[in-house]
Amino acid sequence: MTAATLDTPAAAGRPNLRETASQITSMAWRQMVRIKHNPFELVDLSLSPIMFLLLFVYVFGGQMAGSSADYLQYVLGGLIAQNAIFLTMYTGTGINADLRKGVYDRFRSLPIARSAPLAGKIFADLFKQVWSVAVMLLLGLLMGFELRSVGGALLATVVVVVFALAISWISVLMGVLADSEEKVQIYAFVVIMPLTFSSSAFVDTSTMPGVLGAWAQVNPVTHLADAMRGLLSAGPIVEPLMWTAVWAVVIFAVTAPLAMRAYKKRMV
């Protein structure tokens, strides 16, 4: 065996932490370049949050809070939380499409960490999260939203992105296990719709009956929505932030290993 052979990444064994980070960055950039060649994707990411915000505030605002202006102050944080969770579905559908097209089979032949393609996809999708939060905040301000502080808005963006990072692994797991993009979407909606609508994202949980109200109190989306509301407008901050962090850690600790195990089995 020659010295040149020993120096190749494949012969060197598993990539170290620095090499893995570099590989994840390269994979994330690969995903970002797609947006450059298909800018309409950003239009698609903008239309959905814009429509949700306009419809909820101007259609339901008077009934929910007495006026559209008052409901805007309440619901913007919840809509940002809901939109972030919905966006994670694109991570799963994108991974599923690449798996079925054999993209990951080609990655498998490269001397890179197995987690790099998945992690790169997730981190690239976080840019979409930031974009959507910016769109909703800008529209909210144009509609008359009274922002607590710029610092609060920046921290809210960080919090929602970190939580979305954890939730993305649920989407990754669905994307790896499902045999079509349509099934990923179905599975995601089955999880996301009840999770978001049985929370404080749109209404006060004290108005919910019995078991539903009890669930809404511990629902991770409730804590995220309350944290967004506190940081952006008014309300408690410390407790919802703490519970949001706890839920993010728990979700990541459970789903990330399951997703990686399923991914490795599928790539065998």
Angle between helix 115-142 and 17-37 (nearest 10): 50
For position 144, what pLDDT does the model report? 93
Q: What do you get for the CA distance between the two ends of the chain, in Å?
A: 28
- Give the model's pLDDT for residue 13: 57
**In the chain, where the domains are located:** 16-266
SS3 content of the chain, % helix, strand, coil (to 5): 80, 0, 20
Global confidence as pTM? 0.85
Q: How far is CA 197 from the centre of its chain?
A: 17
- State pLDDT tens for residues 113-167: 777 777 888 888 888 889 899 999 999 999 999 998 999 999 999 999 999 999 9
Please answer whether residues 132 and 84 qualify as being in contact, where contact means their C-beta atoms are separated by less than 8 angstroms.
yes
Residues 214-247 have pLDDT tens digits of 999 999 999 999 999 999 998 899 999 999 999 9
C-alpha dihedral (100, 103, 104, 107), degrees to nearest 10: 170
| Cβ atoms of residues 244 and 163 within 8 Å | yes
Give residue 190's pLDDT band: very low, low, confident or very high (50, 70, 90): confident
**What is the model's pLDDT at position 80?**
95
pLDDT for 208 beyond 80: yes
Region 159-185: what's the mean pLDDT?
A: 90
